[in-house]
Structure 1
Amino acid sequence: MFLQKLKEITTFIFDVDGVLTDGSVQVTDNGQSLRTFNIKDGYAMQLAVKKGYKLCIISGGDGIAMAKRFFNLGIKDVFLAAGNKVEIFNQYLIDNNISASEVLYMGDDIPDLNVMQLVGLPTCPADAVEEIKAISTFISPYNGGKTAVRDIIEKVMKVQGKWHDANPLAADSGK
């Protein structure tokens, strides 16, 4: 059942804080928030874009640096400061002619709960809250910000025979 679901995925949607980061936020004296992203997650994300998958970010967090990070990885559908994730998700499906059954969503906390109940493959990092773990089809053995995103993208792409890049560039992961 799980392997069949992996074969049906065309779209990845990720939360940011606690999924693509470890959930820590450093705040500078001028109030700017700083987050740390994992290069291996970045490599997998840009490769998925190159291979034709749709990637989308839906996050309650916000910041110019976050938007730039995703833009540099080739991710065009970025929704930051998201108040209602379900509303954004539903509109994204309509705008892109996507069925919820072909969507993998990785979240880690209560704001992700309602949207995760709508997707074909709800997933989470190992350190997600219990409510999210309870509804997840797959729980990565890796924590948020520590390659949980790479883990699930790699699994999907390997099952679909799309994992290897014939001409990988070292620069692709650090964009």
Structure 2
Amino acid sequence: MNKQLAFSDIKAFIFDVDGVLTDGTMLCFANGEQVRAFNIKDGFAIRHAIKKGYVIAIISGRKEEGVYKRLQSLDVQHIYLGVDNKDEVFQAFLQEQNLRPEQVAYMGDDVPDIAVMQQCGLAACPADAATDVLDICHYVSESLGGKGAVRDLIEMIMKTHSKW
């Protein structure tokens, strides 16, 4: 893949949460609380991209306050949690941000992400994504979900734009 060409139009990143920003592990406590771990390097890259003018969005099927607060702490403005139809949210996001699909890099890890990944300019996934996702991706990070895959994608694209 010619990375310079593939990454040249990217103006926005969209990420799934479970399996992308986290490793997919969920700790469940007796009181019903559910906890996930986020990678600090991924968080740095997200904030850095926002500061450099990229639009960051999160689209996830699950909805939990802890995840929302973590994303807010990273200055993410476009947070869509509890989403049943990621494609509908993707289309609305494109309209709201006046973007074309080819200007978006989307990182997902499982079947619910495929419809959006097939439309965006750059479909990416962590190394441990589901086989169906690995088969359609333009870019597979060497990093695992929740272990720097988000940082890898953001850094690579920003470096091609000389913005890192």
TM-score (normalised: structure 1): 0.92
Moved more, 96-105 or 60-69: 60-69
Q: For the aligned residues, what is the CA RMSD?
A: 0.7
Instruction: State the alpha-carbon separation in 2 of the partners of residues 62 and 36 from structure 1.
Output: 15
The correspondence of residues 20-169 of structure 1 with structure 2, limited to 5 A, is 20-163=21-164
User: Take 1:126 and 1:47, find their aligned partners in 2: how far apart are those partners?
Assistant: 23
Q: In structure 1, list runs of 5 or more residues that go unmatched.
A: 164-175
How many Å separate the matches in 2 of 1:113 and 1:32? 29
C-alpha distance in structure 1 between counterparts of 2:52 and 2:4, whole Å = 19
How many Å separate the matches in 1 of 2:61 and 2:36?
A: 14
Q: Distance in 2 between matches of 1:151 and 1:100?
A: 21
Instruction: State the one-letter code of the partner of 2:37.
Output: T
Distance in 1, Cα, partners of 2:8 & 2:66: 33
In the TM superposition, structure 1's runs of 4+ consecutive aligned residues that sit over 6 Å from their partners are: none
* CA deviations over 1:5-60 (Å, ceiling 9, x no partner): 21211000000000000000011111111000000000000000000000000001
Question: How many residue pairs align between the two structures?
Answer: 163
Instruction: Using the TM superposition, give the Cα deviation of residue 74 of structure 1 relative to its aligned residue in structure 2, in angstroms.
Output: 0.8
Give the corresponding residue for 2:10: 9
